[in-house]
Amino acid sequence: MANTQNRLDRELDTRAVAARPTHWKAPDLLPEPNPREGWKHRWIRVSMVGLADAKNISSSLREGYEFCKAEDYPEMMMHAVAD
């Protein structure tokens, strides 16, 4: 007895059904403060691998960045580290 299988031609077989959506959005690793009129917030690295990154801080200040005060952003205090 011949073992016959009912298969489709390779050209007719598609993976469109199993394809994942193509849109991707990078995850937010750092929290964002509530937006404020006229302000654009950016995170500035102050240390890396436990060592202070004074070069990055000073270059950011020369570029015109200004540091924010923690008390001006109470919504961010739950993310603050005590150390």
Can you give the C-alpha Rg of the chain in angstroms?
A: 26
Cα–Cα distance measured from residue 36 to residue 68, given in angstroms and rounded to the nearest whole number: 12
* Predicted local distance difference test score (pLDDT) of residue 15: 61
* Predicted local distance difference test score (pLDDT) of residue 58: 96
Residues 6 or more apart whose CB falls under 8 angstroms from that of 34 comprise 73, 75
Domain residue ranges of the chain, discontinuous segments joined by +: 47-79
The 10s digit of each residue's pLDDT in 24-66 is 777 778 888 888 899 899 999 999 999 999 999 999 999 999 9
Nearest in space to 81 (alpha carbons), one of 47, 37, 34: 47
